[in-house]
Structure 1
Amino acid sequence: MRFAFLCREPVGSVKKRIAIVGAGPAGLVTAGYFVCRGYEIDVYDKLPYPGGMMTFAIPRSRISLSEVVEGWKDLEQNFSVKFYLKTKVAVGEGYDEGDEFVERKIDLLELSRAYDAVVIATGTWRSRRLGIEGENAKNITTALSFLYSRRLAEMGLARSSCFHSIKKVVVIGAGLSAVDAVEECLSMGINEVYLAYRRTIKEAPAGVYRVRELMARGVKWVELIQPKRIVVENGYARGVEFVKVQLGPLDETGRPRPIPIPGTEFVIETDLVILAIGEIPTPPIYSGDMIKYIDPSGKLNVGNDYRIPNTNIFAVGDVVTGPSKIGLAVDHTLKAVKAIDAMLSGEKVRVEDILKKLKPIEKKALGFTPWSDSIAKSICDFLGRYAEVYSDACLSMAPFIRVFDYSKCIGCETCNAICNFIHDGKSYIRIRKTDEGLIFPTSCLHCTNARCQSSCKRNAIIRGDLDEVLIDMKKCNKCMDCLYACPVKAIRISRGDIVNCDLCLPLRQGGLTPACISMCPFGSIKLVRK
């Protein structure tokens, strides 16, 4: 990942200092934007390394640690960003998951007096609890704590946990945290894993598709059951007593309310219980006047300017929106940083103007994956199954220039957020969602045998340096033949113009990689060359 995806060196000269509290995705994206604008950036985080949950929670099967390290090292070495780690910035005293590495504490209000602005990006480091009998047994953990302890052991920051003796696990919940916890259990060789949910698979926040993927791997899905108590012996959970439920009227979340059915209690025996019922935002405010800006769900309420009223303290990402996917946190952050920048600099900030300041580079250092026919088959089979694209038509247009590896993509939507930011609200990436809850991006594949090009009667579709598909707007008469010719529906109308992905041409001219590729957390977007 390259968090400073807009530049190779600062292209602005705003000589102001910003402190960022939190070094997860939102904090690092904030740093990446502001260093390109010429701000002096210091980042404070309670953990021993930057990256937040990308480093300390998400399974390695999903995200490579080297991707994250490369990103924050770039900020540190090439943009002089200072990281103050094992440091907790807060108002008052409080404890959240991940705080055990803290060696230094700084008062948030004192910090705000030392900088022109402070940006809070502390995410969601507190797990929800069930509030039932026996929940404090020794072998009960939360999804976050479970994943966190596994990452610490891998990095040599903690002793290897006792999880190696576990043979049977019950995971309670059906969101992304639950899916991550289950996948981690499977990677450990645990063969008997139950995934218990109080609604049906149709209401599972992770989506039907992800749950069925786990079921195909042997996970036992049990729906319409609700935990009633933990069966405890000698301080250890030996089972979970569930009660069957039926779905009633919609609750405040818009989902059917589970109603317990008396007399249907039963026990699932287990060696480990993982509570995966979600996380809560953790704003670094535990006391004082500013606590009034924290709502009952834990979210930090800020104004339309992303600021805590009457302060120079701003907030971005999940600490404001609540727990979400990486891409949604990034999207909120990118909208916020432009507003914060305009307030601090007094300038009307446009990404287009930032890109115009990039110094042209003759030799572009782009990375390519070697082309193989299997790439085309994988993409076209996937699109044929889930995106209403005829597989044969797709294959006839290969080879492709830019590809999506759908075996790695988890639908985090970061690519869409970045593309939307780069192109002033006109993302050239389309996020699709199937009835089974599978979320994935599609965009121009820059086909060698492009039907859009052969359909254009005015020769308005041309080729660039990489043989990518470009639209010559001087020739285009907006007949829309290309829209109907493209099987992927990548070309579209935006604000009256025919538009298509140009693989971030201004960035490439400045020696940078297309932004969707730079910022994909999972390395699932690639340039290929035959």
Structure 2
Amino acid sequence: MLKFVTVDRDMPEKRDAQERNKDFNEIYAEYAKAKAEEQASRCSQCGVPYCQSHCPLHNNIPDWLNMTATGRLEEAYQISQATNSFPEICGRICPQDRLCEGNCVIEQSGHGTVTIGSVEKYITDTAWENGWVKPIVPTAERDQSVGIIGAGPGGMAAADILRRQGVQVTIYDRYDRAGGLLTYGIPGFKLEKDVVMRRIEQLEKSGVEFVLNCNVGEDISFDAIRGKHDAVLIATGVYKTRDLSGPGSTATGIERAIDYLTVSNKLSFGDDVAEYNDGTMNAAGKKVVVIGGGDTAMDCVRTAIRQGATSVKCLYRRDRANMPGSQREVQNAEEEGVEFVWLAAPKGFTEADGKVNGVMVQKMRLGAPDASGRQAPEVIEGADYVEEADLVIKALGFEPEDLPKLWNTDGLEVTRWGTIKAEFTTGKTALDGVYAVGDIVRGASLVVWAIKDGRDSAEAILDYLNDAQSVAAE
């Protein structure tokens, strides 16, 4: 260990932009064993590991880096898996530059951060290859059951913890495949789909039942799920897209990011998708404008490049330093041919025969900080112009659906933002035996936070089930 002074930071090789633009495969290669050990050996094993404290899951990062550096990979995997239900997924899609790596002690001293995410990915991929990842076999089965609504990272992480304690778990999801945004929201060039599918298969082999194509409130009532199970966990995520008003906003060719990404990901499974075949969600030969500055916007612009768009531009109302998305993703997008138009906000849309052909853009400048501390964008009068576009994708973030109304249920309290009111750390709601986790509580957030919430809430549900069991035994 402690080789950061003599060994430089070295990321896995990244495929050339002109090569990776032609497919949806992941853009980073895997570390070789020697390189993974070398990079892990750069860890300073500091007394106060800021990487660990800034990880939502508080992963034991220095320990599994030590195990990797000394060739004890199976132990590294066991340490990694102890705090994270899906380390191979977090290693691929977590914004390490803002979390663990961004707070690495040796980077603060000018030596370049340890490549924590790439080593984490290497550890778990090696574990899969060597058969160290096995279905869960609880020491004893329980007759209590939990119904989980939503098969995304929060719901599946909770299922993982509950099955380890022998609880019977059923996950209900509206889509035809489990995984939530891991399956249909995140493109393959960041997270190849077989990585998600093998985790789902592991949970199925562990005894988790998935009820797919099941829309709660239509195919089954929320009250029916409550009646069937001893506890219920709501992990639906947030899928309602923030919208844009203004002239021309109802023109065809203006699409939601989630719809666009879902169509693209369905294609990666070999599905026949009508919206792609008829050109509605196909960027080939089109001038594409994506509106937004988060990671979803980055996913959209990079997908459009791969679909063969003639040009792809990303409009964001602040500057590069103030955008919410990962800087690493911005760099990848620029390498692949995306043009960023900073300090630009949509005012409306131009159209011909009902079809969009341009975005009316207002140029902005940054003014005084707003309530969050970020500089608020202000309109520069008289600087409007039109950005040509054949396809416009709105990536403005997500809001919660009105679940109490959709599910026709009373007592499920929501905040003024529409998110479910739930107790911090446990996810307990106002309804007895009902818990909620992830984006439906936090608002649109990171996958790693959903995993954290799912695991924490599962522990609270176990306490609830144990209390119920004790009362029944008296």
TM range (shorter): 0.5 to 0.7
| Equivalent residues of 1:6, 1:33 under 8 A apart | no
| Equivalent residues of 2:411, 2:431 under 8 A apart | no
Q: Determine whether 1:332 maps to 2:446.
A: no
Q: Determine whether 1:278 maps to 2:397.
A: yes
- In the alignment, which residue of structure 1 is the partner of 2:240? 126
- In the alignment, which residue of structure 1 is the partner of 2:418? 298
Alpha-carbon displacement from aligned partner over 1:261-305 (angstroms, at most 9, x marks no partner): 221110010111011111123463326564762223231111244
Q: Determine whether 1:10 maps to 2:138.
A: yes
Q: Unaligned regions of 5+ residues in structure 1, if any?
A: 91-103, 348-530
Q: Which of residues 425, 431, 435 is equivalent to 1:310? A: 431
| Equivalent residues of 2:222, 2:409 under 8 A apart | no
Provide the C-alpha distance between the structure 2 equivalents of 1:306 and 1:149, rounded to a whole number of angstroms.
32
Taking the TM superposition and a 5 Å limit, the aligned residue runs for 1:97-496 are 105-155=219-269, 156-159=271-274, 160-161=276-277, 162=279, 163-282=282-401, 284-286=403-405, 290=410, 293-304=413-424, 305-346=426-467
Q: Determine whether 1:68 maps to 2:188.
A: no
Distance 1:34 1:28, change over 3 A: same
Distance 1:157 1:123, change over 3 A: farther
- In the alignment, which residue of structure 2 is the partner of 1:466? none
Provide the C-alpha distance between the structure 2 equivalents of 1:296 and 1:252, rounded to a whole number of angstroms.
17
| Equivalent residues of 1:123, 1:281 under 8 A apart | yes
Alpha-carbon displacement from aligned partner over 1:410-456 (angstroms, at most 9, x marks no partner): xxxxxxxxxxxxxxxxxxxxxxxxxxxxxxxxxxxxxxxxxxxxxxx
Q: Determine whether 1:79 maps to 2:206.
A: yes
- In the alignment, which residue of structure 2 is the partner of 1:433? none
Alpha-carbon displacement from aligned partner over 1:337-364 (angstroms, at most 9, x marks no partner): 11221121239xxxxxxxxxxxxxxxxx
Distance 1:310 1:170, change over 3 A: closer
Distance 1:274 1:59, change over 3 A: same
Provide the C-alpha distance between the structure 2 equivalents of 1:266 and 1:65, rounded to a whole number of angstroms.
40
Alpha-carbon displacement from aligned partner over 1:293-346 (angstroms, at most 9, x marks no partner): 222323111124422213221111111111122112111221221122112123
Amino acid at match of 2:365: Q
Query: TM-score, normalised to structure 1's length?
Result: 0.59
| Equivalent residues of 1:26, 1:316 under 8 A apart | yes
Provide the C-alpha distance between the structure 1 equivalents of 2:409 and 2:159, rounded to a whole number of angstroms.
28
**Structure 1 residue 115, shift from structure 2 partner:** 1.0
**Higher Cα radius of gyration:** 1
Q: Which has the higher helix share?
A: 2
Alpha-carbon displacement from aligned partner over 1:100-151 (angstroms, at most 9, x marks no partner): xxxx611112220221001111011111112222222110112111101112
Amino acid at match of 2:311: E
Amino acid at match of 1:24: G
Amino acid at match of 2:422: V
SS in structure 1 at match of 2:377: strand
| Equivalent residues of 1:7, 1:36 under 8 A apart | no
**Structure 1 residue 12, shift from structure 2 partner:** 4.3
Provide the C-alpha distance between the structure 2 equivalents of 1:290 and 1:6, rounded to a whole number of angstroms.
41
RMSD in angstroms over aligned alpha carbons?
2.3
Alpha-carbon displacement from aligned partner over 1:57-97 (angstroms, at most 9, x marks no partner): 21111112112211112222x2222211111113xxxxxxx
**Structure 1 residue 209, shift from structure 2 partner:** 3.7
Provide the C-alpha distance between the structure 1 equivalents of 2:262 and 2:137, rounded to a whole number of angstroms.
34
Q: Which has the higher strand share?
A: 1
The alignment covers a number of residue pairs equal to 333
**Structure 1 residue 247, shift from structure 2 partner:** 1.6
Q: Which of residues 39, 44, 52 is equivalent to 2:172? A: 44
| Equivalent residues of 1:15, 1:40 under 8 A apart | yes
Provide the C-alpha distance between the structure 1 equivalents of 2:179 and 2:141, rounded to a whole number of angstroms.
27
**Structure 1 residue 210, shift from structure 2 partner:** 2.7
Q: Percent identity?
A: 29
Q: 151-160 vs 128-137, which deviates more?
A: 151-160
Q: Unaligned regions of 5+ residues in structure 2, if any?
A: 1-80, 87-132, 469-474
| Equivalent residues of 1:141, 1:275 under 8 A apart | yes
SS in structure 1 at match of 2:312: strand
Q: Determine whether 1:88 maps to 2:202.
A: no
Distance 1:11 1:283, change over 3 A: farther
**Structure 1 residue 249, shift from structure 2 partner:** 2.2
Provide the C-alpha distance between the structure 1 equivalents of 2:380 and 2:219, rounded to a whole number of angstroms.
49
Provide the C-alpha distance between the structure 1 equivalents of 2:366 and 2:283, rounded to a whole number of angstroms.
37
**Structure 1 residue 7, shift from structure 2 partner:** 6.6
SS in structure 1 at match of 2:203: helix
**Structure 1 residue 3, shift from structure 2 partner:** 5.1
Provide the C-alpha distance between the structure 1 equivalents of 2:346 and 2:296, rounded to a whole number of angstroms.
18
Amino acid at match of 1:178: A
Provide the C-alpha distance between the structure 1 equivalents of 2:327 and 2:284, rounded to a whole number of angstroms.
31
Distance 1:289 1:82, change over 3 A: closer
- In the alignment, which residue of structure 1 is the partner of 2:93? none
